[in-house]
Amino acid sequence: MRSATAHKLYENDPRFEVDSAGTDRTAKVVLEEWHLEWADAIVVMEKQHRNKIRERFPQWYEKKPIVCLYIEDIYDFMQPELIAILKEKFEDVWRRGLLEP
């Protein structure tokens, strides 16, 4: 629900074009190579997600900025606490220029 919430929060933000996919094969939308090719930068919620990208798509891992927000999988979709954490961490990443290709 973290990525889905982030997608919802930023889907109409003029600074970004967003998409959302999961690294787990049981995700509603499973991360595929075209997602990584399309993206200028990738934001993941946990270090294990970055590691899965490195294992499954090493060519894109080396080419794209990948930023980890370190947000645990303990929240529901659009939960107020999750929204606050996402906004704080994502805006910090944006201000620091970490999403630049």
Answer yes or no: is 51 within a domain.
Answer: yes
pLDDT band at 101 (very low <50, low <70, confident <90, very high): low
Please tell me the number of Cα atoms within 13 Å of 80 on its side-chain side.
Answer: 0
Number of domains in the chain: 1
**pLDDT tens per residue, range 9-62:** 999 999 999 999 999 989 889 999 999 999 999 999 999 999 999 999 999 999
CA distance 13 to 97: 17
Full residue range of the structural domain in which residue 14 is found: 2-95
Answer yes or no: is 12 within a domain.
Answer: yes
User: Which pTM value belongs to this model?
Assistant: 0.89
Hey, what are 77's tokens?
């979709």
Distances (CA, A) of 5 to 8, 35, 49, 63, 64: 5, 18, 17, 26, 23
Q: What is the CATH number of the domain that holds 26?
A: 3.40.50.2300
Answer yes or no: is 101 within a domain.
Answer: no
